[in-house]
Amino acid sequence: MSPTDAYAVTAEELLQIIERYETLDAEKRGLVEAMKEVMAEAKGRGYDTRVLRKVIALRRRKPDEIAEEEAVLGVYKQALGMD
């Protein structure tokens, strides 16, 4: 194997990596567009999309983390007379 052969293999591998990344990026753009469409549909049906996004974020988290955050938020709100 000559140095130019090694370079050719590396270039081919590099091109494959770049093309895989580009394919994934295109798929991601498609998914982002589909997610926007889902939220537009929800908004059209009268749902508050800002709240929906918060609910989705909460579903990703552990119940213990949510409970701890809500407890601290309650303490802060009480301290500020917001309860």
Q: Taking 70 as the threshold, does the pLDDT of residue 65 lie above it?
A: yes
Q: Assign 3-class secondary structure to the chain.
A: CCHHHHHHHHHHHHHHHHHHHHHHHHHHHHHHHHHHHHHHHHHHCCCCHHHHHHHHHHHHCCHHHHHHHHHHHHHHHHHCCCC
Task: Give the CA distances from residue 59 to residues 25, 27, 70, in Å, rounded to whole numbers and listed in that order.
Answer: 26, 24, 14
Q: Taking 70 as the threshold, does the pLDDT of residue 71 lie above it?
A: yes
Looking at residue 73, its pLDDT comes to 96
pTM: 0.68
Q: What is the per-residue pLDDT across 1-48, written as a single tens digit (0 to 9) for each?
A: 566 666 777 899 999 999 999 999 999 999 999 999 999 999 999 999
What number is the average pLDDT over the span 69-75? 97
Looking at residue 6, its pLDDT comes to 67
